[in-house]
Structure 1
Amino acid sequence: MTNSLSNAALDQGSVERQLRARRDGGRRLLMPYVTGGITPDWTAYLRAFAAAGADAIEVGLPFSDPTLDGATIQEATDAALARGATTRQILADLAELPDLGIPLVASTYYNLVLHDGPEAFCAALRRAGVAGLIVPDLPLHEADELTGVAAAAGIELALLASPTTPEPRLAEIGRRSRGFVYAVSIMGTTGERADLAASATELTRRIKLGTDRPVLLGFGISTPEQAREAGRHADGVVVGAAVMRRVLDGAGPDDLRAFLATLRRALDQE
């Protein structure tokens, strides 16, 4: 059964429900990222991620001006676009993917949403079996339309919070985010880093004061040790640049499954 058919039966709230259930069962959550269309057989990475114990998968829809992404994700985006990757083809690939048993969350920039219009964009995500959406350049005060359209299509729009987000806005993000809250560990772009930012601990604490939704920490988590440390504070981690660096260096699905398995073990030890 393809993803589009199997996920068509999923009702609204499937991302948050699944992540909550795993978190409440004592599990720390793992959401790896892959740039859609990065290789001809790129969906094989998704199967490897699921086999390694991922709890959700973030699929990046390439955009020509990824302003919030660091050098690695920008390089991956450029490589995918150079291959001719398009949103339509990526979603078609996802629609043919067997059900992985975990939610797929698309991430992209608001220009791509506006290109087809929010209604058509969210409907296309749903047909492809995508259950969640991240739009990092969408300001909170402009998110009402997309939040409503996404909810009507059964897509959960997850919002981002950063270390400099003031308390009233942080509380609003916690209320309005769907699926989970994406905690951005540092001010800056995505990318691998030697240490987990000290600001990550305080940010996750502040977010959790205002919401019981799962909080996933991203930006800079690159090693099992960093994942373990993040898991002491957040409900889980998002790992993007460390995955894509390996893909760009020629790592295959089995290599990525082995790498993510080390992160899975680190999170499970926490």
Structure 2
Amino acid sequence: MSQIDELFARTRAENRAALVGYLPAGFPTVEQSVRAIATMVENGVDLVEVGLPYSDPVMDGPTIQSAAETALAAGTKVDDVIEVVRATAALGVPTVVMTYWNPVERRGVDRFAQQLAEAGGVGLITPDLIPDEGADWDRASRAHGLDRVYLVAPSSTDDRMALTAEAASGFIYATAVMGVTGQRQETSSLAPELVARLRAVTDKPVGVGLGVSNGAQAAEVAAFADAVIVGSALVRCLLDATDEQQGLDALAALTRDLRAGMERS
């Protein structure tokens, strides 16, 4: 079993969903991103998505785009992302990288996989890579013991869901809304149906992301999904802060609210 498999075995035994938190490496700086991720873990995040800042983030909304731009302007490189993974994994929490495919291909698929595994990372979330085009990643991930987290959307056909579920490992990322990432006033009405469709073709864990921004929304999603994925709302805590400590305090408070909401569901 991978670390992600072990996590979901534990949360299922505890009759709760896992809380997955996303932050970009290098935002606002590499050192600050490490401290911010540690704050999330200390306050209840079960699995960390370390974002690899990218110059053309087609799926990301303005909040994550702004954070990525800050990280890139500060000179954040792939090697920095790997070091943030190393620091996060040392906290004892499963750590994956969320990245568009181009940076992986540019570094070399096997080299990227090897470096990620050596740093303690356990997998990749690849929003713009579909299993049909992922043969190189499939081979490299299996060779280095990494999980393959693929995405499905409300527009995915049943056949596409089955194919994606078969190729995925760790968990399947269900994007509950059509559009880019970002906080929303209410969770997507499409999410329960999307998860139900996935349940019909797989027993692998399903995480729901895009839009969750508070404990009440997290509780809604936790009622039908194996994991609640939160990104923009956590990033916003740091974007809106006037100094690092204020950002960390806001991050801690939001993480506790999300976790508390999920435990009430």
Q: Considering the TM-score relative to the shorter chain, is it more than 0.5?
A: yes
The yes-or-no answer on 1:269 pairing with 2:260 is: no
Residue 194 of structure 1: how far off its partner (Å): 0.7
Aligned residues between the structures:
259
Counterpart in 1 of 2:16? 27
Task: Give the % identical residues.
Answer: 34
Q: Secondary structure at the match of 1:238?
A: strand
Partners of 1:190 and 1:56 lie apart in 2 by: 19
- TM-score scaled by structure 1? 0.92
- TM-score scaled by structure 2? 0.94
The yes-or-no answer on 1:215 pairing with 2:211 is: no
Residue 34 of structure 1: how far off its partner (Å): 0.3
The yes-or-no answer on 1:258 pairing with 2:249 is: no
The 8 Å contact of residues 21 and 49 in structure 2, kept in 1 or not, is answered as: yes
Q: Secondary structure at the match of 1:197?
A: coil
Partners of 1:90 and 1:244 lie apart in 2 by: 16
The 8 Å contact of residues 221 and 242 in structure 1, kept in 2 or not, is answered as: yes
Counterpart in 2 of 1:6? none
Partners of 2:11 and 2:217 lie apart in 1 by: 21
**Which range moves more in the overlay, 114-123 or 39-48?**
39-48
Per-residue Cα deviation, 1:26-84 (whole angstroms, up to 9, x for no partner) = 12110010010002321011211111111101000111100111111111100110111
Residue 23 of structure 1: how far off its partner (Å): 2.2
Partners of 2:258 and 2:109 lie apart in 1 by: 35
The yes-or-no answer on 1:160 pairing with 2:151 is: yes
Q: Secondary structure at the match of 1:69?
A: coil
- Counterpart amino acid of 1:35? P
Partners of 2:180 and 2:170 lie apart in 1 by: 23
The higher-RCO structure (CA 8 Å, 6+ apart) is 1
Partners of 1:98 and 1:108 lie apart in 2 by: 17
Partners of 2:198 and 2:156 lie apart in 1 by: 10
Residue 92 of structure 1: how far off its partner (Å): 2.2
Q: Secondary structure at the match of 2:165?
A: helix
Partners of 1:262 and 1:39 lie apart in 2 by: 23
- Counterpart amino acid of 2:25? G
The yes-or-no answer on 1:62 pairing with 2:53 is: yes
Residue 21 of structure 1: how far off its partner (Å): 2.3
- 1:117-266 aligned at under 5 Å gives the runs 117-250=108-241, 251-266=246-261
Residue 209 of structure 1: how far off its partner (Å): 1.4
Partners of 1:259 and 1:93 lie apart in 2 by: 22
Residue 98 of structure 1: how far off its partner (Å): 6.8
Per-residue Cα deviation, 1:85-114 (whole angstroms, up to 9, x for no partner) = 111122124334572221001011110010
Partners of 1:58 and 1:95 lie apart in 2 by: 13
Partners of 1:99 and 1:19 lie apart in 2 by: 19
Residue 210 of structure 1: how far off its partner (Å): 1.4
Counterpart in 2 of 1:78? 69
After superposition, the Cα gap between the structure-2 partners of 1:231 and 1:210, relative to the gap in structure 1 and judged at 3 Å, is: same
The yes-or-no answer on 1:95 pairing with 2:86 is: yes
The yes-or-no answer on 1:106 pairing with 2:97 is: yes
Residue 260 of structure 1: how far off its partner (Å): 0.5
Partners of 1:176 and 1:20 lie apart in 2 by: 20
Which runs of no fewer than 5 residues in structure 1 stay unpaired? 1-11
- Aligned residues: CA RMSD: 1.4
The 8 Å contact of residues 106 and 133 in structure 1, kept in 2 or not, is answered as: yes
Which runs of no fewer than 5 residues in structure 2 stay unpaired? none
Per-residue Cα deviation, 1:121-155 (whole angstroms, up to 9, x for no partner) = 11111122111210100123102221221121111
Counterpart in 2 of 1:9? none
The yes-or-no answer on 1:47 pairing with 2:38 is: yes
- Counterpart amino acid of 2:153? S
